[in-house]
Amino acid sequence: MRLKLDHDIVLTPEIIDHIKNFKHNIASPDDIIKLSKEYKIIAVGDVTTENLKNHGVNIFLQVVDLITKRNEGKFQHIEGSIAVKNPAGTISLDLINAIKTALTENKPSRIEVSGEEDLAVIPIIFYADLNTVIVYGIPDIGMAYIKVNKAIRDDVEKLLGDVNV
């Protein structure tokens, strides 16, 4: 039986560290352009989203908070975006439901998070098809991506099962 995500999930520092150590690949926009010919692209983070859009990448789902650590320019609200709240260190039910809706209804969307968007990668892995690439920024390093596959989905389900009490 598949795990059910039906409430806010507060993550421990140990689990957040585990998530940060997921196997990922550092990428350039050109790498993502190539991947976008074969995979659905999801972008998490304002700088990453803007960078991919500026390079013409078709982004299926954007998850942003309109703020960046580096304050590189201003990020604007886009009309029609789904607004959710997500406190730091938490994956809120609002965020989970917005991601689930976008991915299960196969509907290109933009989610604007009031709070922290970084942990959106977890419910994205949980709900995304296996033909999905999640692109996100790593502070002071650059852009990285994860290809959703069975192994990483199983890892996420185990992590969520451990905290889903």
Give binding residues for GTP as ranges: 46-47, 65, 117, 140
Q: CA 127 to CA 132: how far, in whole Å?
A: 10
Nearest of 22, 50, 56, 54 to residue 37 by alpha carbon: 56
Which residues line the annotated binding site? 46-47, 65, 117, 140
String of b and e for 12-36 (b: at least 16 CB within 10 Å)?
A: eeebeeebeeeebeebebeebbebb
Q: CA 121 to CA 19: how far, in whole Å?
A: 9
